[in-house]
């Protein structure tokens, strides 16, 4: 199975300031079809996970543009340009390039 490793595991942030989370995979996430199936999920306290970003950098429907994703191969980053109070929660990267889908350990973002 592909192992997903996130850093940091905890990220104290300041409202209005940027935040960044890294995710590294144990092998390349480039699929044989040429796409890279790396997603980012947000889980607010007491809520189910919510898809934010798919295929590295595509924002899902309804996701604010302060969220952006980048990266390639085995190294990926989620950035929040200006943190808002509603962004508090745990963020996960997830790969779907190879079965089974695997997730990072999660990064807790707190004010």
C-alpha–C-alpha distance, residues 86 and 20, integer Å: 16
Find the binder of other proteins among 24, 31, 59, 66 (CB under 8 A): 31
In the stretch 51-70, what mask flags binding to other proteins with x, by CB under 8 A? x--xx----x----------
Query: Residue 14: exposed, middle, or buried by beta-carbon count in 10 A (0-12, 13-18, 19+)?
Result: exposed
Residue 92 binds to other proteins (criterion: CB under 8 A): yes
Question: Do 36 and 29 form a contact (C-beta atoms < 8 A)?
Answer: yes
Give residues in contact with other proteins (CB under 8 A): 31, 35, 37, 39, 41, 48-51, 54-55, 60, 92, 94, 96-97, 99-106
């Amino acid at each position: 199975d592909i192992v997903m490793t996130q850093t940091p595991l905890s990220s104290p942030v300041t409202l209005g300031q940027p935040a960044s989370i890294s995710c590294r995979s144990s092998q390349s996430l480039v699929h044989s079809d040429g796409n890279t199936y790396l997603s980012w999920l947000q889980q607010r306290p007491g809520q189910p996970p919510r898809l934010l970003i798919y295929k590295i950098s595509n924002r899902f429907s309804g996701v604010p543009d302060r969220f952006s994703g980048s990266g390639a191969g085995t190294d990926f980053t989620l950035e929040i340009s200006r943190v808002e109070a509603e962004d508090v929660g745990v963020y996960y990267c997830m790969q779907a390039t190879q079965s089974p889908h695997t997730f990072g350990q999660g990064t807790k973002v707190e004010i």
